[in-house]
């Protein structure tokens, strides 16, 4: 037997998962093989040390000693008086306090913290916090005031909202669904029906009605809210009867306490371009990936052209999958079309859809255009659709409503080329390549296109 196989048996014994047959096998090995005994002794040695560490850290040294004697028989108790004096109530209390400190030190998800927290950090970049205010603890936010001096972050609130913040921003949580923005910039997205978020500023109170929006408060307390998707309800203050429902593509500005002004989002959307990817759950992307700005797409996709860039467009977010969806690439570490297994998206889950497309300039000088890059998502990619027919079939669930995707233009194949294009023996175009990282959070692409669009649909777990 190989050392690796012996190690598996030893680990199973020490971790309490060994079966009766495996135990017999290991016993026989230990009886006959010095190598097996050596392997066991070395592993058991570190296991014992870890056990000792675990007990001492979990309860504190005195507490661990006390716990060791918790089961002793009643008739033996009188012999332990000296231990009782050593590990009395004070010792146990001190041990408990110490253990709480140690649990925090090791970054463990401590239940009490978990219950008290209102949001969890899911992305951070170069964060600098003002020491005069609270800081997130072990990646958790509580009902406190925070001042982010530098960097970007994204958090998930306990009420299901995804909130992104860019420095400098001061904000406060009052509860998992209520926060205040004193100044700075944030975006929020609610992708599930049960999610909720209310945000107040000096001059407006906002209730998210299941949507995505950006909110900005300037140093002079001027607030502006821009709705990217859906609608939000805006009041001047909590008690006010004057209420606005702001719809997709609109921006509302509150100047001072009482004056409201609305305008088209397009004049304001660029203010949130930096936060928009984070809010969508996109952690990283190559410079040649252009993320479509927040708000409605106002031109047919076929008119969005570039020889050097690909565009990433958020489609329907938080879709409940209740029908069959055929996929071209499912498993981590696989590459389409060479070694990718097709699959079907499991029904009964929520996913968000992103369309990645490469659409070279029509009639341009270049007859062959190539782009390659990568995109990394916060959540797992559950599948990728590369083929024209499957893209069309999945439009009913994921496509942006009333948007022309381009399949009625020209020859109109939307998907990728799975084979090289060769005309009369003359090589013209290599096939496209898409691959998925082992952890299924990154997609790598290499598109080759002449004048026809290359589109793929990336489905990400919500």
Partner 1 sequence: MEPDEHHLLGESAFAEMKERMMVKNEEQVELVQRLFLQHMSELRAWVYTMIRDLDLTNDVVQETFLTVYKKADQFEKGSNFRAWVYAIGRLKILEASRRPAVREVAFAEDVLELLMPKENELADNSDRLSQLKSCILKLSPTSRQAVVLRYMDAMKPPAIAQIMKWSVNAINVTLSRARIALKECILKHEMEDSFSQKGLAGK
> Of 106 and 367, which CB lies nearer to partner 1 in the complex structure?
106
| Smallest distance, partner 1 to C-beta of residue 23, A | 8
Q: Whose structure tokens read 């467009």?
A: 313
Short-list 374, 357, 355, 265, CA closest to 317: 355
Q: Does an H or E element contain 64, and which?
A: helix 61-68
> Of 53 and 320, which CB lies nearer to partner 1 in the complex structure?
53
β 289-291/310-314 pair status:
parallel
> Of 127 and 342, which CB lies nearer to partner 1 in the complex structure?
127
Alpha helices in 106-196 (DSSP H): 111-116
| DSSP-assigned letters across all residues of 11-53 | HHHHTT---HHHHHHHHHHHHH-HHHHHHHHHHHHHHHHHHHH
CB 154 within 8 A of CB 378: yes
> Of 6 and 190, which CB lies nearer to partner 1 in the complex structure?
6
> How far apart are alpha carbons 171 and 188 in whole angstroms?
14
> Of 55 and 316, which CB lies nearer to partner 1 in the complex structure?
55
| Smallest distance, partner 1 to C-beta of residue 439, A | 11
> Of 60 and 294, which CB lies nearer to partner 1 in the complex structure?
60
| Smallest distance, partner 1 to C-beta of residue 83, A | 7
- Reading the block at residue 317, the tokens are 């977010």
Q: What is the DSSP letter of 79?
A: G
Which residues sit at the interface with partner 1, rule CB under 8 A? 7-8, 11-17, 23, 26-27, 30-31, 37, 40-58, 61, 64-65, 68-73, 75-76, 78-79, 82-83, 86, 106-109
Buried b (16+ CB within 10 A) or exposed e, 140-165: bbeeeebbbeeebbbbbbbbbbbbbb
> Of 13 and 354, which CB lies nearer to partner 1 in the complex structure?
13
> How far apart are alpha carbons 352 and 321 in whole angstroms?
10
| Smallest distance, partner 1 to C-beta of residue 26, A | 8
> Of 98 and 292, which CB lies nearer to partner 1 in the complex structure?
98
What are the φ/ψ torsions at residue 426 (nearest 5 degrees)? -100, 120
CB 446 within 8 A of CB 432: yes
| Smallest distance, partner 1 to C-beta of residue 75, A | 5
| Smallest distance, partner 1 to C-beta of residue 292, A | 32
Q: How far is Cα of residue 56 from the mean position of the Cα atoms in its chain? A: 35
| Smallest distance, partner 1 to C-beta of residue 53, A | 6
| Smallest distance, partner 1 to C-beta of residue 56, A | 6
> How far apart are alpha carbons 43 and 302 in whole angstroms?
62
> Of 44 and 430, which CB lies nearer to partner 1 in the complex structure?
44
CB 275 within 8 A of CB 185: yes
Q: How far is Cα of residue 261 from the mean position of the Cα atoms in its chain? A: 35
> Of 22 and 372, which CB lies nearer to partner 1 in the complex structure?
22
| Smallest distance, partner 1 to C-beta of residue 42, A | 7
> How far apart are alpha carbons 164 and 197 in whole angstroms?
13
| Smallest distance, partner 1 to C-beta of residue 3, A | 12
Region of 440 (left: φ > 0; alpha: ψ -120 to 50; beta: rest) is left
């Amino acid at each position: 037997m190989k050392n690796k196989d012996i190690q598996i048996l030893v680990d199973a014994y020490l971790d309490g998962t060994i079966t009766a047959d495996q135990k017999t096998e290991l016993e026989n090995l230990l009886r006959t093989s010095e190598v097996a005994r050596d392997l066991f002794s070395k592993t058991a040695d570190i296991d014992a040390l870890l056990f000792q560490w675990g007990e001492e850290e979990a309860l504190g040294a005195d507490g661990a000693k006390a716990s060791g004697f918790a089961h002793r028989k009643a008739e033996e108790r009188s012999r332990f008086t000296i231990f009782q004096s050593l590990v009395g109530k004070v010792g146990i209390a001190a041990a408990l306090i110490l253990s709480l400190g140690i649990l925090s030190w090791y970054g463990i998800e401590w239940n009490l913290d978990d219950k008290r927290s209102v949001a969890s950090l899911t992305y951070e970049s170069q964060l600098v916090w003002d020491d005069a205010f609270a800081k997130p603890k072990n990646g958790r936010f509580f009902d406190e005031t925070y001042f982010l001096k530098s960097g970007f972050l994204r958090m998930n609130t306990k009420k299901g909202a995804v909130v992104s913040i860019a420095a400098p921003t001061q904000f406060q949580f009052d509860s998992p669904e209520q926060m205040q923005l004193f100044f700075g910039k944030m975006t929020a997205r609610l992708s599930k029906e049960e999610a909720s978020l209310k945000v107040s500023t000096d001059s407006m109170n906002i209730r998210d009605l299941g949507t995505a929006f950006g909110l900005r408060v300037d140093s002079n307390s001027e607030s502006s809210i821009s709705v990217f998707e859906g609608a939000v309800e805006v009041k001047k203050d909590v008690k006010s009867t004057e209420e606005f429902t702001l719809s997709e593509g609109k921006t509302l500005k509150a100047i001072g306490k009482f004056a409201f002004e609305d305008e088209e989002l397009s004049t304001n959307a660029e203010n949130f371009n930096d936060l928009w990817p984070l809010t969508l759950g996109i952690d990283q992307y190559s410079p040649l990936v252009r993320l479509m700005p927040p708000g409605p797409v106002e031109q047919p996709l076929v008119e969005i052209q570039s020889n050097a860039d690909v565009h990433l467009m958020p489609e329907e977010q938080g879709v409940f999958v209740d029908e069959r969806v055929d996929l071209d690439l499912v498993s981590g570490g696989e590459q389409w079309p060479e070694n990718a297994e097709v699959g079907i998206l499991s029904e009964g889950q929520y996913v968000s859809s992103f369309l990645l497309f490469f659409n070279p300039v029509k009639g341009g000088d270049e007859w062959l255009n190539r782009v390659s890059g990568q995109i990394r998502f916060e959540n797992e990619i559950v599948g990728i659709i590369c083929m024209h027919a499957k893209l069309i079939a999945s439009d009913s669930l994921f496509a942006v409503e009333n948007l022309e995707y381009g399949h009625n233009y020209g020859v109109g194949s939307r998907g990728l080329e799975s084979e090289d294009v060769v005309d009369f023996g003359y090589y013209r175009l290599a096939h496209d390549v898409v691959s998925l990282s082992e952890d299924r959070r990154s997609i790598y692409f290499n598109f080759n296109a002449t004048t026809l669009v290359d589109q793929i649909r990336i489905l990400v777990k919500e």
